[in-house]
A and B are shown apart, each in its own frame.
Chain A
């Protein structure tokens, strides 16, 4: 049996929850719970599957936060640009 539990992405999920996207973060935390519980029961394969799922949610959280951030940047620059054009 493997001694080390698979990575559970708990920390990453908490950070995603706080900085960006609550739904992705919560899903990540739920899968982190599954990783730990299944590893504790000796179900290494199940724990690994949950770990992959948690990683997927974390990645989506990060990607969507980048998209939202870029979207905001574009809007802010667009508004600023239009304001400048209006001034002249």
Chain B
């Protein structure tokens, strides 16, 4: 019973957030929460731009997602990969190796995040494409 309520709350929350981000562009509204790090220091964090990216994604604008946050798309791919592999393994009783559990994977992802974080804060041409706008 309690579990049911919990799942209902989660689904309700995700749906309402999706509707909210589908209709309202954070670039045009002023009341969206701003990243605390950016607000206080002016430095972009690796997650900056993901609200705008969510809006673009819900409107099927993949290029817009890339403009806001490249990491967002990468993490969506990882998420999809994980769900597909675990789904196939549990439905068809297979044992496909899931690279999420490879000992090197978390370190590679950590390196990607840190490098992305540094690069998107360089305010010159090829790098400023990584910053949200």
Measured CB to CB, the residues of A under 8 A from B are 5, 8, 10-11, 14-15, 17-20, 22, 26, 29-30, 32-33, 36-37, 39-40, 68-69, 72, 76
Contacts and interface: CB of A to CB of B under 8 A. Distances in A.
Given A10-B100, A33-B103, A20 B109 contact: no
A17 B102 contact: no
B103 A40 contact: yes
B103 A37 contact: yes
Given A18-B69, A33-B106, 9 more contacts: A8-B106, A10-B106, A11-B78, A14-B79, A18-B75, A22-B46, A26-B113, A37-B103, A68-B33
B57 interface: no
A51 B82 CA distance: 17
Interface string B31-63: 101001100000001110010000000000000
A11 B79 contact: yes
A75 to B, nearest CB: 9
Given A11-B79, A37-B103, A69-B33, A29 B109 contact: yes
Nearest to A33: B106
Nearest to B54: A19
Given A18-B69, A19-B47, A22-B47, A10 B33 contact: no
B79 A10 contact: no
A5 B82 CA distance: 15
A29 B106 contact: yes
Nearest to A7: B101
Contacts of B71: 18
Contacts of B113: 17, 26, 29
B101 A22 contact: no
Contacts of A40: 103
21 contacts: A8-B100, A10-B105, A10-B109, A11-B78, A11-B100, A14-B79, A18-B72, A22-B46, A22-B47, A29-B106, A29-B113, A30-B106, A30-B110, A32-B106, A33-B107, A33-B110, A36-B101, A39-B101, A39-B103, A69-B33, A72-B33
